[in-house]
Chain A
Amino acid sequence: MGFMTLLTAGLAHGGLYALVALGLVLIYKTQGIVNWAHGELLMVGAFSGYTAFVLVGLPYPLAFLIAVLAGALLGAVMERVAFRGIVHEHHATLALVAIGFSVIIKGLARIPFGADVYTLPPAVDAGPLRFAGAIVTAQSVLTITISVGIALMLLAIFRYTRTGRQMQATQQNLNGARIVGVNTGRIFSITWALAAAVGAVAGLLAGPTSLLYPDMGSEFLLKGFAAAVLGGFYSVTGAIVGGLLVGVIEMLIGGYISTAFQQVSPFLIIIIVLFVRPHGLFGRRPVERV
């Protein structure tokens, strides 16, 4: 495979990781929670899309909408039911609750879908394109476009809408935001819904290249972690750049070194980044306050 082909394939995978990382970063920024169940939100998105599009036979845009809404609803419910009340508890407790949700969602998905694997057809049915010496599938182009589009949209929301500014205020100073009259509960719900919706989109886009099965989320979660760590865990831009980089690095390692190393590339990225530059590419060095 040529370098350009690897690069574009890497960017397409990276777009998915960027979307996962985006959701993780949004939640972490707002409440300081690492959502270990984020992979399952992606899985729910993919399976809702599959149910609506393949099993029920709805048109693709409608199925897409249903999947995104299902993901968003699940995210918001998880936050409201569990995390809001225990947000001050130890990180281990929070991690355990998130892992608990992840196990529940996987178990529930196994009831109708069992241990089989499913495939979601691509959103656009077009042949491969040739672009600057690389062979690119239409799905890759779509994935890259949508990921970058979503990132730009989020940045615009943060900057220009009232809700977006309230979200930023909540992230910067929870009590300060409360004092000036921000309904922080509403902001938490919106954050989780938004993060989960972005995850569900990633699931829908991953459908054609990755197989659908109840355990599909963990692989994406790991790569999303790698992307978020690379980007600094605090920055929306960082998550996108980190995701694309993780995708490209993974493809290049797979293409030029070995596929065995490709499997561990996200772990190596996490370890190396945290040793060399713990605050990531876009984060600021944390300050310890007494």
Chain B
Amino acid sequence: MDRTAIMKKPLIYGGLAAALLAVPLLTNGYTQYVVNLVTVYVVLGVGLNILLGYAGQFAFANAAFMGIGAYITAILSSQLGLPFWVCIPAAGVVTALIGTACAVPAMRMASIYLALVTFAFAELMVWVFINWKGVTNGSNGIGVSAPDLFGYVFRGDQRLYYLLLPCCLTMLWLASRILKSYIGRSFVIIRESEIVARCNGIDVSRTKMIAFGLSAFFGGVGGALFAYTVGLVLPQSFGLFQLVIHIAIVVLGGMASLAGAIIGALLLTTLPEFLRDFQSLQEVMFGTALVIVAIFMPRGIAGALTRFGILPREMLVRGIVRERRPVATPGRDQDLEPIGVGVTHD
């Protein structure tokens, strides 16, 4: 990094922060609600991307993690009257513990079997939300009271934004720090080859547990923010469609890319709103977009932007990164990087 880049950096971040803070000046209640949803889905998208994109674990449980987080928040805030700074971390921590338990099947099975078992777990959780009426109030759902901080109530979408934005940015910062650490790099090695990871002295089981727990933590916090945003937690919100949106955010935005999660969340939250009144048209467009992007941009939108040099390449190891050299093995292992030189992926 040269000197001008160092000089420029605070300027860019400052401008970005000012722009983000000024968003409510330009919105009305409805558009602000959509913006709030974007911040929520950024957190959720990052959560799934940690597991699916970085650690390569093909797990479908994140809608369930989100649901658990949302229910914990709803119950703690409206029935016990706890403040948000207890509810949100509580939702994250409890969900992370459940997520760590979900790593147990991942030790034994891979790829589609893991997908199926986590998918079954997610559907089972929806059933629990509907049928455990004493706690979840069944299909009627639970209302969530507006969060407040020392008497300042974040009521209304514009005020709520100033709670969601710091949470979202904190989670993003956390994700980027963790992914650049030893743990984040071990995720990538596990994705590329568990055997290579073992040879490098990485405890695969432990790392998988951390990946699941971490992903679930983001899912739980995302669920908590979702609960505050929508104000009413319903079991149907966490079904198959929620899952599809999460996967779409990660795959369309770009696997193993934080920018990808942001792009994906932005697109998949705002675009469907334009076609709200036409369900069939919305479905056809959404489905076509999924198919076309997946076929022509297998690395997602962030991957395509990186290739054209619009987005900088995300690096997990700072320092000299050698040019990519073509790897001879065909098929799935094509993007195997020389590990230890600098793990980059776009």
Q: Which residues of A contact B (CB under 8 A)?
A: 28, 34, 82, 85-86, 88-93, 95-97, 99-108, 110-111, 218, 222, 225, 229, 233, 260, 263-264, 266-268, 270-271, 274-275, 278, 290
Contact = CB atoms under 8 A, between A and B. Distances in A.
A86 B294 contact: yes
A3 to B, nearest CB: 26
A89 B298 CA distance: 7
Contacts of B37: none
B288 A104 contact: yes
Contacts of B127: 263-264, 267
Interface in B279-299: 279-284, 286-291, 294-295, 298
B247 A91 contact: no
Contact of B117 (A89, A99, A233, A271): A271
A112 to B, nearest CB: 10
Given A93-B298, A101-B291, A267-B127, 16 more contacts: A34-B116, A91-B115, A92-B251, A92-B255, A97-B294, A100-B286, A103-B287, A107-B279, A107-B284, A107-B286, A263-B127, A264-B123, A267-B120, A267-B121, A270-B116, A274-B116
A103 B124 contact: no
B304 to A, nearest CB: 14
A104 B283 contact: yes
B331 interface: yes
A86 B295 contact: yes
B291 A107 contact: no
Nearest to B332: A88
Interface stretch (B92-100, B104-112, B214-222): B104-112
Nearest to A270: B120
- Residue among B119, B123, B279, B291 with the most chain A CB within 10 A? B291
Contacts of A102: 287
Contacts of A101: 287, 291
Contact of B116 (A89, A103, A225, A264): A225
B124 A99 contact: no
Given A96-B247, A99-B244, A99-B247, A108 B116 contact: no
A100 B247 contact: no
A101 B287 CA distance: 6
B279 A95 contact: no
Contacts of B111: 91
Contact of A100 (B116, B282, B291): B291
B139 interface: no
Given A88-B332, A107-B287, A110-B283, A271 B120 contact: yes
Interface of A is mostly: helix
B154 interface: no
Nearest to A266: B120
A288 to B, nearest CB: 8
Contacts of A229: 113, 116
Given A106-B283, A107-B284, A271-B117, A96 B251 contact: yes
A271 B255 contact: no
Contacts of B295: 82, 85-86, 97
30 contacts: A34-B115, A86-B298, A88-B331, A90-B255, A91-B112, A95-B115, A97-B295, A99-B244, A100-B286, A100-B287, A100-B291, A103-B244, A103-B284, A104-B288, A104-B291, A105-B287, A107-B280, A107-B281, A107-B283, A107-B287, A108-B284, A110-B279, A218-B240, A229-B113, A233-B113, A264-B123, A268-B124, A271-B117, A274-B117, A278-B113
Given A100-B288, A100-B294, A271-B121, A91 B279 contact: no
Given A97-B294, A97-B295, A290-B195, A278 B109 contact: yes
A175 to B, nearest CB: 10
B131 interface: yes
B248 interface: yes
Nearest to B56: A90
- Residue among A89, A93, A110, A271 with the most chain B CB within 10 A? A93
What are the 6 closest A-B residue pairs judged by CB atoms, nearest first? Answer: A107-B283, A100-B290, A104-B287, A103-B287, A110-B280, A107-B284
